[in-house]
Structure 1
Amino acid sequence: MNPLPHPFGRTLAALGGAVLALGLLAGCGNDDTKTAGAAGTPTGDASTAPTSPAASDGVSAPTGEPSTGTPSAIPAYYVGKTPQGDRLFREFTQVSGVDKLVAAAAAVTSGSTVDPDYRTVWPQGRFASVTQSADAITVTLKDDGWLQAGSLKPAEARLAVQQLVYTLQGTIGKRLPIKVDYAGKPAATLLGVDASAGLKAAPELDVLALVNVTEPAQGTVVSGSFTAEGRASSFEATVPWELRDASGKVVKKGFATAEGWADKLYPWSTKVDVKGLAPGSYTFVARTDDPSDGEGAGPTQDTKVITVT
């Protein structure tokens, strides 16, 4: 398994998902937090740009610290459309006043995303508890409703399980297996997926979108310039990007170079100068390079609507 880099950098995430997580699970555990900003906070050249998770693997947020009551950023994985079909995109969200694993699981199952292009495929409901031991993360089911896939197609059920696995592992920063308990004993399945040996993360290229923007977050306010970053597996590590105005016109474009490609997703980062642009709403677009020149399924892309001041 690949080493797990530290996820904390400059990415922003809104409090909406955190508020919902707290509403679902208030009082279910202690909080292990790191300070992070909220979407809508000015960034770019501003000296007060907040600190939050960077565009790395997203699986090394440290745990075990006492609660401070300050917001903590966690990576949540959601489903979005790509040329390869539905894949997982990562979005950071803030939580406070509740155990991070509990909040992470609630974020996945509630599907309260900041980016409207993302969604969850989980059926309605929530876990009874989510706990961590030295060798596993254990999710406990409230009833037998999630033992089988129900109305989910097999592919949807497998992707839902991977949503949970990637999110919980990312929250603790360890590739621990996910065990499932029901009625005081291990459950053999979760959403119809075999859980008897513990649920593990599938290879990144099988389940993750091939490009993901983690900064700027949806709704970020920028001024002067901003750093865009994320992860990608793109041909020859090239990640083309564009900035479009409200009419869809491309007003800036360029490319970033990721740290690698082909075998997994790698971090990429670029600085975008917005000096001279009229204040207003813009869409930042990052995509994979398309060596087929349109002959294949087309590039994967991720978009974030931001505000330039």
Structure 2
Amino acid sequence: MTFPRPLTAAGAVLALGLLAGCGDDEPAARPTPSPATSDVATESSSTPPTASPSDQASAVPAYYVGETPQGDRLYREFLQVAGADRLVATAAAITSGDPVDPDYRTLWPKGRFASVEKTADAIVVALPDDTWVSAGSLKPAQARLAVQQLVYSLQGAAGARLPVRVTLDGEPAATLLGVPVGDGLSAAPELDVLALVNVTEPAEGTAVSGSFTATGRSSSFEATVAWEIQDADGKVVLEGSAMAEGWIDKLYPWTTEVDVSELPPGDYTFVARTDDPSGGEGGGPTEDTKRITIT
């Protein structure tokens, strides 16, 4: 198993270098693993991240696309942003297509928004030109998921379920990637667009020792989330289960303590998956994996 290079902290370069008014040759800084922070776009019972001063890092959510038994769905990871507007940073992350987890990707064509801002009743994104008005090479289902990728990410960064409005040359745009905008884009039901299990912690590339707290969200049969740790050869060396706070209607938080004190130092993979009472007849469980190092 090949592990990625050490992660570096993300900052204003990531956010501002991909939006209008900045150079195209800015280096694409990679974000660091982040704390288990909730966003109200997908967890109505949670408290949104507390805004930090511009010179301090704060965690902002970004949604990316990954494969599941139900087809492509959205997975969430967090970016560490310092010295940049949260909405600007999130929009830049989505269009740059550079998630930390290599299992994730973006559906967005390369480019940048002219501006992204929160008003009293909406999140407004301005298109730089008419490139993103149509779907381009995206299939209709991909375009719809790409739009939801943006909506979920921006609502999470804003900490509010505000509609996302799109403008072009200062006027309302009729479509975004071929998807009708109407009076504003709203988040689709979670079970229609989100992966049914998502690991928040440990984040991709995390170093752990002794024990750690694993957290995430899921909608799994009877709220049961199975987890395991695999060694570098893919052998399961530790396993257990966690109970989420609910299931059926949306994704709910889950948490569990994982004791790795008996495992030798090295590279491992933490896996969380939904329970599958059908025995694979429904396509199999959904899973999310994070590569970790035990020190």
TM-score when normalising by structure 1: 0.85
- Compared CA separation, residues 66 and 83, structure 1 to 2 (3 A): closer
Instruction: Report percent identity of matched pairs.
Output: 68
* Partner AA of 1:124 in structure 2: K
1:61 equivalent in alignment to 2:45: no
Separation in 1, partners of 2:284, 2:165: 37
Counterparts of 2:39 and 2:93 in 1: how far apart (Å)? 19
Q: Which residue matches 1:31?
A: none
Corresponding residue SS for 2:153: helix
Contact 1:55/1:229, CA 8 A, preserved across alignment? no
Which residue matches 2:232? 246
Q: Which amino acid aligns with 2:130?
A: D
The runs of at least 4 aligned residues of structure 1 exceeding 6 Å deviation read none
Task: Count the aligned residue pairs.
Answer: 278
Corresponding residue of 2:3: none
Per-residue CA deviations over 1:232-283 (Å, capped at 9, x if unaligned) read 0000000000000101111110100000001000000000000021100000
Q: Give, in whole Å, the separation in 2 of the partners of 1:27 and 1:126.
A: 10
Cα RMSD, aligned residues only? 2.2
Q: Are the structure 2 counterparts of residues 18 and 152 from structure 1 closer, same or farther at C-alpha, using a change threshold of 3 Å? A: farther
Structure 2 counterpart of 1:128, one-letter code: A
- Residue 164 in structure 1 maps to residue 150 in structure 2: yes
The corresponding residue for 1:202 is: 188
- The residue that corresponds to 2:119 in the other structure is 133
Is residue 211–residue 301 contact of structure 1 (8 Å, CA) maintained in 2? yes
Tell me if the contact between 2:37 and 2:49 (Cα under 8 Å) persists in the aligned partners.
Answer: no
Within the alignment, does 1:75 sit opposite 2:61 as a pair?
yes
Retained in 2: the 8 A contact 1:22–1:95? Answer: no
Q: Which amino acid aligns with 1:21?
A: A
Q: Which residue does 2:15 correspond to in 1?
A: 21
Q: Indicate conservation of the 8 Å contact 2:228/2:240, yes or no.
A: yes
Task: For 1:271 and 1:115, locate their aligned partners in 2 and report how far apart those are by CA, in whole Å.
Answer: 22
Cα deviation, residue 68, structure 1: 3.5
Higher RCO (CA < 8 A, seq sep 6+) = 1
Partner of 2:108: 122
Residue number in structure 2 paired with 1:180 = 166
Secondary structure at 1:170 match in 2: helix
Which of 94, 97, 104 is residue 108 of structure 1 equivalent to?
A: 94
SS at match of 1:252: strand
**How far is 1:123 from its partner?**
0.8
Residue 76 of structure 1 contacts residue 108 of structure 1 at CA under 8 Å; is this kept in 2?
yes
Is the contact between residue 54 and residue 214 of structure 1 (CA under 8 Å) also seen in structure 2? Answer: no
Match of 1:154 among 126, 131, 140: 140
Q: TM-score, normalised by structure 2?
A: 0.89
Match of 1:3 in 2: none
1:234 aligns with 2:228: no
